[in-house]
Structures are given as structure tokens and as C-alpha cells.
Structure 1
Amino acid sequence: MSCQQMATPGLDLPCIAFHNYDRSTVMFSLSEHKRIAAGDTTDKVLNNKVISPTAQGLLLVRDPDTMATFLYNPATSDKVRLPPLRGVDDDVLLHSHCLLSDKPSAPGCVVLLVEGGGDTAADLRVIDFSSSSHEPVITAITIDDTVTNDSSNGHDDDERPPCQTYLVESDGELYMVRLLVVLPFENGDEIDRVGVHRMDFSNRRWRNVSDLGGRAFLVSRFYFGASCSAGEHGLLPDRVYFVSARNNTLQVFDVRDGSYEVQKLDKAPEVHKAFWLLPTANPYKGGLRESVSPPSR
């Protein structure tokens, strides 16, 4: 979802986070391609936790030992406690990302958990933390995503190469990013080309686009997709940035002319999941906010 500029003490956002099965998280600079310190507070909060990112810049965090669950803003160290999230395995959280239906303080705000496992994000869980029973109410949803595209990228239906699909909300519009994988497909993340479509809701059809309105789209595995102002955050306009933890690369695609470049992240750790940390507007305005104090020395 669209993000706006704000002060980011301790972290130069957007940046890349590498999260591993051992529950460790390493921050990586987008501009300098090197590890960066997240700060004492963030390191302490995220240590030995299971993390699922949101496209609004917040992180859904759970302690696997106590089930304590909260939303965390790494840019400000703000924290919103939630009822313990049970009934969702650690592996599901690790292989998912989240969307918030509103600001965390808004009545009825729910968390949409988008699960990994296929070429399209069709398996969703709606998690309502506002239940009077003090336990989150979890509802499963399966999406029928059969919507017509303007083109098939030059392939018949049974001949299309494998692709990874991401949905991105930007300036009130819904976009679909399709990353076509290099053949022969061997379960890798090397991308051949990118296609971007905007949803025409009146005709229920995806329309091809040749620019992103000067913004940048940031995507990563497990269907994470977000839109960010390019000029305000040192990004190139009308680009799709794809980070791959499988081969430690950052792949940048120019939607206007179809060109792309691959940047090797040589100093990145070998992990199972990479995602984006984004600048965000203050999502706590008008509601409860808990600031996390830095650890004592």
C-alpha cells in the first residue's frame, strides 16, 4: 500500500530485511548493499521472533514461546499489543505477508494474512483481533482470481512460462505485477521479463500499463508488494524492485522500456525469506500507541 515519507531514526528506509528459520533478522541497505544496524530497540524487539511484514511498513510479530503478538513500526519503535495469535503455525507466518484493513487503532481493523505456496495469492486468512473473547477470530477465504488480461505476453495459455504474481495498491489503484521466470524453470528466481497491469473494475479486466505514475513498486517472495514514492526515497521512478533471498539478488525492471538490471547482494546472509521495510505515515494517530524503550546498558 502507498507509503509516505516520515522521519526514520536509526534506519534508512526503504531497506531489505532478511529473516531466517532460526528467527534472526538482518537489515540490509538498499543504496549501499551492506548490512546496517537496526538499532538496539529493534534488535531487542525482533530477536527470536517470527515476523510477517505488512505493505504499510508495520511488522506483525509473534513470540513463538509465549504467543505474545504485536504490531511493530521499525521506523519509530512504536508497538501495538494484540491478543495472542494462536491457531497459525510459525511456518505459515514465515511464508506469508499481511495487509491491514485500516489503521491499527480503527474499530474493526482486521489483518489479512496472505499465505504462500502457489503462483497466485488465492489462500487468505482474515484475523480479527478486536473480538470480545480476547482471542483472535480467524476466517479462511479462497479467492477466485480468474480475471482476463489484456495480453498473454505472447504465449498461449498452455505455453506460458512460470510466473510470480503480486498485487500492489498505489494511489488508490490496484495493480498486478507478473514476473516471468527464465526457462528452463528449475525453481529459481531469475526473471526474464515483467508485466504490469492495472485493474479496470468497471469491465473486470486487467489493463496493460507502461508506467507506474513515477512511483516504484517493491516486491518480494510470498506475494509481498508495495508502492513507494521514488524521488523521496532514492528510488528510480517507474521501476519494479524484486529482491530474491534464493540467489541474493536485487532485480530492477524499467516498466517504460522493458530494460532491467541485476544487482548482486554479495554481503547478504543466506536465509529463507527477504522482504521490504518501508517508510510509513503514522498509523497510530488517534489511537493507542505504546513506545518501546531502548534496552538499558
Structure 2
Amino acid sequence: MDNTSRVSVPCLSLEQRDDSADKPALFSISDKKAIDGGIPGLTNTNAWFTPQGWILLRQSTTIRRLVDHMLMPSLQQAISPRLCVLLIEPIATVIWYCRIGDDEWMRYEYDIGIQPLDPPFEGKDHEKVPICQIAACRGKFYFNSNFEKIEVLELTPTPTFSSIEIADSIAGGLGVIGGAYVYLVESEDELYMVCLRLDHDFTIYDMTVHRMDFFSHQWRRVYEIGGRAFFLAPFYFGASCSADEYGLEKDSVYASYALDKCFEVSKVEDDATDVHELIDAPDSRRGMWILPVEKKIEMLMFGYSRKTI
């Protein structure tokens, strides 16, 4: 990939509703308008994005390549020989995984319980619990978190599931009354949970950020995140990157809202929020963040979520 294909990151990729437009529209965070150029091979429907800045492309039904959207030579520099790649199907309770050197992807159908469907859907009043919001941290995958429990997936080498019960889950006013969107974010080897609380009309009215204390098994409310910026993509993932290095607002959370053609920036300290309209944004099915590529990675995950608690 040559220098002409470079894009300024972080940026927002909007999947276009217009059937005649086969490529997503890329938008600058700083300018709130479209970026000229694009990423070779990227279309509206052939890519999975990761919190670590990598993109998995497929051609037809075959996964084609793992792409560094900046410069291909850094791909070899960043990938660890122990790299594990996890692909999560969005609805079916199925995961695919592989490691560097594997000849093929391994398919695994999991069963981690059932949950009710209210209202029933297509004659069913329950379904298998799917893996939803997920983050890779300290050699494990954490998912389906709330203030009472967090699920854990390890590939050792086959999939092994366990859970962590959260101690004193209601202490300190951490209990959630009503609904919330939850995102897990790995940042500098720490696991965070961003909680967007919903009122009765499913409107977000409050944001809080919590760090997992693995020693005491507690979520601890935080009011700063080490000067970094978190990124949230609805129904997909949470991610972290340096604020200073990329001209972002420190200790802030960026959330994309493709349907509303905007993104929001909220301060971790007090949830003060600014809304940024995207100039001439197309009608979009979803918005995805394209993030800086991490210098060294050992775990990647792809997939998206539909989970609320």
C-alpha cells in the first residue's frame, strides 16, 4: 500500500445506504467533513474493524487479508508470533479463531445460557445468549459485562468460558436502574467499562466510566482515563488511543451516531457533552471508527454487538 492510500486517523467511516455507492464515506474528526481518498479494497460490506486499528477484508465468502490502513510494512512489525484473531458472528452463537501459522480458521459454537425475548420474536420467547460487547485485555477476552458479572473467554488453545462475579455490585451507587448501553474498553493494559444510561424513552441521559479492579473484583468509578480518548461505535466496540498524539480532547469519550449524522464528545469528569454535526454526511446504516494502528499486538477481535443491560 503506497503513501497515496494513507488516511488521517482517527476518522469515521460511514456505511452508505445508497445502493449505488459501494464504498463507505470517510470523515475527518477535526474538520467534520469528508476526506478525499480511501482505503484500497474497502467496501460498504466487506470489512471488520478492530479497536487496535486493523481491518479484516474479505472477498466473496473468503477472508482475504489483514490490512494495516496506513502502511503495509508495519503489519509485519506489529504482529506478534503469538497473535490470536477472534471473529464473532453478530447473531449466531458462533466464533471463529486462528493464530499466526494456522492453515485454517477454527469454528466453535458456544452455549453460555439462554435469555428471554420480550416481546417474543418469530414464535420464540427465548434465545441463546450471544457474545456482545467485548474487549481483549491481559491475554483474555472479556464480554457481556454489567455491574454484577463479567464473562471471560480464553483460548487455551480451545475456547474456555468462565465468569467473574462483581463484589459489592450495588455499593457506592453503581447499580443501574433501567437500561444502559455498555462498552468495554482496553486501555494501557487496563479494562474499563463505559456505561451510557437510558431513560424510559431510551434516550441517553448520563455517562459514567469505570475501571476493573481485578484484585477486588470491583468496578471503580473513574473521573479521568490517563489523558487518553475512548471511542465508542454502537453495536460494535470500544477503543482507546492517545489524545495528545492525535489532537484529541483528553479524558473524553467519542461516540458515533451514524443515523443522526453526528458524533459526540463527552468529558469523563462530568459528562459535559458537545455534539458535532458531520457536514454533508450521507444516509448511513452504521458508523465505524478507523483508529491508529497499535505498535505491537497479540490479540485481535472482530464482530459487533446488539446488547443492552
Flag whether TM exceeds 0.5 (same fold). Answer: yes
1:205: Cα distance to partner?
1.4
- Which amino acid in 1 is paired with 2:84? V
Match of residue 267 from structure 2: 254
- The secondary structure found in structure 2 opposite 1:46 is coil
Q: Deviations over 1:216-252 (max 9, x none)?
A: 1011112311111111111111101100112222111
**CA deviation string 1:149-196 (max 9, x = no partner):** 755896966xx23211111111111001111234312xxxx5211111
Query: 1:49: how far off?
Result: 5.0
Match status 1:67 vs 2:80? no
Question: For 2:207 and 2:169, how far apart are their aligned partners in 1?
Answer: 14
Superposed CA offset, 1:11-38 (max 9, x none)? 2111111124755221111011111023
Where does the alignment leave 5 or more consecutive residues of structure 1 unmatched? 1-6, 82-101, 285-297
In structure 2, the CA distance between the partners of 1:48 and 1:67, relative to structure 1 (3 Å rule), is farther
1:178 aligns with 2:195: yes
Q: Which residue does 2:81 correspond to in 1?
A: 106
Does the 8 A contact of 1:49 with 1:62 survive in 2? no
For residues 27 and 130 of structure 1, the distance between their equivalents in structure 2, rounded to whole angstroms, comes to 30
Indicate conservation of the 8 Å contact 1:115/1:222, yes or no.
no
CA distance in 1, matches of 2:94, 2:172: 28
TM-score between the two structures when normalised by the length of structure 2: 0.67
2:98 pairs with one of 110, 125, 128 = 128
The amino acid of 1:224's aligned partner reads F
Q: How do residues 208-247 of structure 1 correspond to structure 2 at under 5 angstroms?
A: 208-247=221-260
Q: What is the identity, as a one-letter code, of the residue corresponding to 2:85?
A: V
Task: After TM superposition, give the deviation of residue 103 of structure 1 in Å.
Answer: 5.1
TM-score normalised by L of structure 1: 0.70
Structure 2 distance, partners of 1:269, 1:103, is: 34
Q: In the superposition, relative to structure 1, how do residues 229 and 9 fare at CA in structure 2: closer, same or farther (>3 Å)?
A: farther
**1:89 maps to what in 2?**
none
User: Which residue does 2:34 correspond to in 1?
Assistant: 35
Q: 2:216 aligns with which of 203, 225, 240?
A: 203
2:168 aligned with 1:168: no
Backbone CA RMSD of aligned residues: 3.3
Distance 2:37 2:30 in 1: 15
More strand by share: 2
CA distance in 1, matches of 2:221, 2:52: 25
| Shift in CA distance, 255/225, structure 1 to aligned 2, threshold 3 Å | same
Q: Which residue number corresponds to residue 48 of structure 2?
A: 52
Identity within the alignment, %: 33
**Structure 2 CA distance for aligned equivalents of residues 237 and 67 of structure 1:** 40
Distance 2:43 2:74 in 1: 15
Segments of structure 2 that go 5 or more residues without pairing to the other structure are 113-142, 150-164, 298-309
